[in-house]
Structure formats: C-alpha cells, structure tokens
C-alpha cells in the first residue's frame, strides 16, 4: 500500500469513528430527553361570552366530575384580572392553581368556617382588562408617558375602574351562564396582578359581595402611585376621592385581603401602599394577628376580617412563584 492509500484509509477510519461517536452521542441525548419529564400542558379553559365580554373559565370539568360521583360542593367564583399590556393567557396555569385546594383533606380553615373539609370548589374566571385582548381599541392608551401617552394617568384610571365595574356586572349576570352544577355562589373572590391588582381593590371598595381579595403588585392609593411616577401630573381628584380605596377603608370591613409587593419594585413601589395599609389598620383591621417572619402587617379578627401585607425582598415588578403560592393558600384559608 502506498502512502496516499494509507492516508486515505486512516482518514476513513477516523471519520467512521467520529460518525459512530456522533451517533452514540445522539442516542444518549435522545435517551436523556426521553427520560426527562414532559412539560406540563397548558390548561385549556372553557370560553364564555357574557354580554360581549370574553371570559376564560377554569374548574368546570372538575366540578362536573364531582357531581358524577355524588359530590356536591359549595362553589365560589374567583375572578382574575391581568396587568397592563398583558393578557389572561399568560396566567392560565396560575388560574388553574387557584382552583386547587393546597391543604387537601387537612384544610382546618374549612372546618373552622363551619363547612365540611374538602366539600368546596373554586371556579376561576379570567377577564380581559378594558382596551386589552379582544377589547383593544387603542395601543397608545395602554402606554406610559415615556412612550408618548400624555393621558397615561387618566387612561390607567379609566381602565382599572372600568374593569372593577365589569366585575360587579359579572357578579350580577354570570350565574345565568354557568352550568347548573354550579348552584348558588358561596363566595365571590378577585385576584389581580399589577393593573389587575389595582382593579381588585377598586372592585372590593365598590362591591360588598366580594369577600376575598388578593392584590399582587397593585396599589390602593392611585394618587400616591401617580405622584411617584410623575410629580405634578394632574389626576381626577374628585373621582379619586369618591372611588379610590385609600379613601374608603371602611368598605373593607369583614373582608379577607392579601397585599403582595416586590421589595425592589420600581414601577409600583410598596411605599405607595403604606398610606392605604395605615388607613386599613387604624380604621378596620385593628386587631393584630400573630407575627410571622417576612410579613409587614398581619391582622385577623372574626368581626373585622383578615389582612396580610407581604413585601418580598429582592423582587421587582413581577408575580413571583412565592406570590402565587401565597395567593393560593390565602384564598383557600379564607373560604
């Protein structure tokens, strides 16, 4: 064999070895991929159109399944409101989580409220904020001052207050559109993130039928929030005086309210909620509950209701996994 043939043969051997090695690596990667858990599928809600509003509903199949085996739980409805320039789709898994009892058969809170443990069911209903999703009419009106929207403070107030009005309207009419298994609604609940957190507090101040509220990175003092974002920016003073939660603390008497903030939130700083919380503590939630690590304010009284304010360290303007966990636990412990 001459030297050229020998070089070619060596090259063929090396190439063949590389091909076999690559094939082995491919098989190993495929095997590893097979052994990895499949990503959790995205929940698929039932879509209801109620008076022109598009609603994404979770927990109806589970309720029907309970009825098929002779389990007839009391049913609560939890509305969910998303943030500015967001959509319900981003929070489908969170909505499904809110339907699930984190305490299971060990839910002592259910027993304390006079119900049989495990005999309750939550339906989550995600709504589209005004001027979002299928309701979008103007992109500019969802933008900030920096993005060229000179009417930012007016637009945000109109959207969040409008959505709060939508929730009251839905409490009136939604039961007609739910399946017969639902029966009479036990509790009305609202959970919201960012702009949805603002709407949550406005809805509670507006409608006494909402017994449980969870505001995530939201604020109950719109004037304080807007002053923080742009000093000397005019606001609807009279409208704020009549509707902003900070001016209506007594409306929260007998409610169960959880406030969640990020310690590094620059968009909706926790400091903007201090005035609101002080009003609640001095006029409504006057009886302090047992102190818990990491909880800024905790009040718990059968007559006046429950209040918890948590500022999560190192977290910005986002709904963190910790906040989702706290929301789920607070909802079910408040039923």
Identify the CATH number of the domain in which residue 301 sits.
3.40.50.1820
* Residue 24's pLDDT band (cuts 50, 70, 90): very low
Q: What is the pLDDT of residue 94?
A: 98
Which range marks the domain in which residue 57 is found?
48-333
The whole-angstrom separation of Cα 265 and Cα 314 is: 9
Give 78's strand partners. 124, 189
The verdict on residue 39 lying in a domain is no
Residue 3 lies in a domain: no
CA distance linking residue 101 with residue 77, whole number of Å: 14
| 36 in a structural domain | no
pLDDT in tens, 216-256: 999 999 988 887 554 445 556 788 889 999 999 999 999 99
Task: Sort strands 210-216 and 185-193 into parallel, antiparallel or unpaired.
Answer: parallel
pLDDT number for residue 42: 83
**With contact defined as beta carbons under 8 Å apart, do 247 and 224 qualify?**
no
Q: How far apart are CA 280 and CA 306, in angstroms?
A: 11
What is the C-alpha separation between 292 and 304, in angstroms, rounded? 20
Under a CB-based contact definition with an 8 Å cutoff, are residues 43 and 36 in contact?
A: no
**Rounded Cα gap, residues 321 and 324, in angstroms:** 5
CB 263 within 8 A of CB 233: no
Residue 32, in any domain of the structure: no
Q: Does residue 252 fall inside a structural domain?
A: yes
Give the three-class secondary structure for 32.
Answer: helix
Across the range 156-172, mean pLDDT stands at: 97
Q: Identify whether the C-beta of residue 153 lies closer than 8 Å to the C-beta of residue 226.
A: yes
52 pLDDT more than 90: yes
Question: Does 161 reside within a domain?
Answer: yes
Residue 12 confidence (pLDDT) above 80: no
Does residue 11 lie in a domain region?
Answer: no
Give, for 153, the enclosing helix (H) or strand (E): helix 152-177
Q: Is residue 2 part of a domain?
A: no
If we measure between CA atoms, which residue out of 268, 205, 280, 195 comes closest to residue 239? 205
Which tens digits make up the pLDDT trace of 258-312? 999 999 999 999 999 999 999 999 999 887 776 676 677 788 776 778 999 999 9
Domain tally for the chain?
Answer: 1
């Amino acid at each position: 064999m001459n030297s050229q043939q020998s070089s070619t043969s060596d090259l063929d051997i090396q190439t063949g070895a590389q091909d076999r090695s690559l094939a082995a690596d491919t098989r190993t990667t495929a095997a590893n991929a097979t052994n990895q858990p499949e990503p959790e599928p995205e929940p698929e809600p039932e879509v209801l159109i109620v008076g022109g509003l598009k609603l994404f509903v979770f927990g109806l199949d589970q309720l029907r399944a309970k009825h098929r085996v002779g389990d007839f739980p009391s049913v609560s409805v939890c509305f969910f409101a998303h943030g500015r320039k967001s959509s319900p789709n981003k929070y489908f898994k969170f909505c499904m989580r809110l339907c699930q009892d984190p305490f299971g058969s060990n839910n002592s809170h259910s027993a304390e409220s006079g119900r049989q443990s495990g005999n309750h069911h939550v339906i989550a209903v995600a709504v589209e904020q005004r001027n979002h999703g299928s309701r979008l009419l103007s992109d500019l009106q969802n933008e900030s001052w920096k993005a060229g929207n000179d009417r930012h403070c007016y637009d945000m107030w109109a959207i969040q207050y409008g959505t709060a009005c939508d929730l009251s309207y839905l409490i009136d009419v939604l039961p007609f559109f739910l399946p017969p298994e639902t029966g009479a609604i036990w509790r009305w609940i609202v959970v919201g993130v960012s702009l949805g957190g603002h709407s949550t507090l406005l809805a509670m101040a507006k409608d006494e039928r909402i017994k449980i509220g969870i505001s995530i990175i939201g604020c109950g003092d719109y004037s304080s929030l807007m002053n923080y974002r742009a000093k000397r920016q005019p606001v609807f003073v009279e409208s704020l005086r009549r509707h902003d939660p900070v001016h209506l603390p007594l409306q929260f008497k007998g409610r169960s309210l959880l406030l969640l903030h990020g310690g590094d939130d620059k968009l909706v700083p926790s400091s903007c909620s201090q005035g609101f919380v002080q009003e609640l503590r001095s006029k409504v939630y006057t009886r302090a509950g047992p102190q818990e690590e990491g909880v800024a304010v905790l009040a718990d009284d059968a007559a006046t209701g429950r209040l918890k304010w948590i500022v999560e360290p190192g977290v910005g303007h986002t709904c963190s996994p910790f906040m989702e966990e706290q929301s789920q636990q607070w909802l079910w412990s408040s039923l």
